[in-house]
Amino acid sequence: MALIQCPECSGQVSDRASSCPHCGFPLSTSPAPAPKRGRPKKQEELSFRLPNGYGTIRRLTGNRRKPYVALVNPTQVFNDEKGTSHYKYDLLGTFAEKIDAYNAVMQYHKSPGGLNSNITVKDLFNKWVEHHMQVNNYPDSMRKKYEMEFAYLSPLYKIRVLDTSPATLKEAIENASKIGTRGKTKGQVVAATPNMKSNIKGLLNMMYDHAIFLRILTVNYARTFELKFDIVRREGRPYTQAERDILWRHSGTLFIDMTLVQFYSGWRPNEVLNIGIDNVDLQNRTFTSGSKTEAGINRTIPIHSKIIPIVEHYYKEAHDIGRNVLFGRTSPHNGQYTYTDNSFRYGLFKDFEELGIKDHVLHDGRHTFSTMAKENGVDDFARKKFMGHNISDLTDRVYTHLDLEWFRTEIEKIK
């Protein structure tokens, strides 16, 4: 160690001192550390944790002007084949700084609408119906039903969902109408019946539930009000013997034949329309269909001897043309062979006009079956089973097991 002179105050200082003890003047600095070998580390990024379900922020690779991407609306997608899953997101935007991406996600969840703020009522219907059909695995006939109901709401089509209100929807239902596209009302304004208005209210309820799911709204406007409709519930009217005789004389027409099958099976209209060709067993003389209730789904009914020729005819026709249902079109319409309930109704009643038959609805075929079964002494347990009705008696419902031939004997009692 040696003494040196401070250049500032000229005092004597150790050559190892970092500063002068007399005046504080810095005498030496530590040598700069040698640079570390290898690739330099990226600057430490701040952590921005988003609440669960809000989305995520990711940094894109490469040298980008806006490297941060904000993703929202996480949806888990499952791959059943591989047994894996991943999340699918909607892109909110790209940002230069991570804090900007974070703030954008937080602001998105504060304001109703978000990415869907400009969606119209018609857009909402299209999004909802696709989701609703897929989730519930409904047949295409259900889509046509919803489209028919939505046709009465054309004044709302171009209005943004965010610009609607409970009053807007209420007025649209009360004044619902459309332009007829077929029959006597073609080209005329057709006002919605009370029954149709009730269906439209239900449709809007489901659509606006989906608007909340899409984060367009936080409140379902359609469920904030109630409407009373003077719905006319028409009592079922079985076909008379004279009317049944007329229909038998004109067998060979699709919609009449479907009605005759109802007389001897008890199928609901939509069940007749959806009897799959693979569910017809001509060897054992049974067919299977069914819907609506647990007791009605996928029930097997013996084919009554009186309608065997009808079933055989349409079974052969379906096989020859590649149709997947027993009763349907001879060539596909919009890729489908099936008719809707409305097409069934329109075609049948058009035939009825020529035959002089009036004042019937599609379900009257079921009423006819039930009445004929009762008149001919068919066992009540069998009658309810054929019609897909719930059996209230515990013993019958749970502990009674009867073979197919017993049911065949019962259904053949109908003359």
pLDDT tens-digit readout, 343-371 = 888 889 889 989 999 889 889 999 999 99
pLDDT tens-digit readout, 46-91 = 567 888 888 899 999 988 999 999 998 888 888 877 888 888 888 8
The more confident residue out of 198 and 7 is 198
pLDDT at residue 188, rounded to an integer: 87
Q: Which CATH number fits domain 241-411: 1.10.443.10, 1.10.3210.50, 4.10.910.10, 1.10.10.60?
A: 1.10.443.10
* CA–CA separation, 223 and 203 (whole Å): 11
Residue 149 — pLDDT band, cuts 50, 70, 90? very high
pLDDT tens-digit readout, 270-324 = 899 989 999 999 999 999 886 544 444 578 899 999 999 999 999 999 999 999 9
- Closest of 198, 111, 212, 202 to residue 161, by C-alpha: 212
Give 208's contacts (C-beta < 8 A, 6+ positions apart).
Answer: 124, 169, 217, 220, 221, 222, 223
Polymer length in residues for the chain: 415
Residue 390 — pLDDT band, cuts 50, 70, 90? low
CB-side neighbour CA atoms (13 Å) of 165: 2
Has this prediction a pTM greater than 0.85?
no
pLDDT of 393 > 80? The answer is no
* CA–CA separation, 386 and 236 (whole Å): 18
The hierarchical CATH code for the domain 121-224 is 1.10.150.130
Which residues does residue 281 pair with via DSSP β-bridges, in sequence order?
286
pLDDT tens-digit readout, 282-292 = 999 999 886 54
Average pLDDT, the chain: 84
CA angle (318, 319, 320) in 5-degree steps:
95
Tell me the percentage of the chain whose pLDDT exceeds 70. 87
pLDDT at residue 400, rounded to an integer: 44
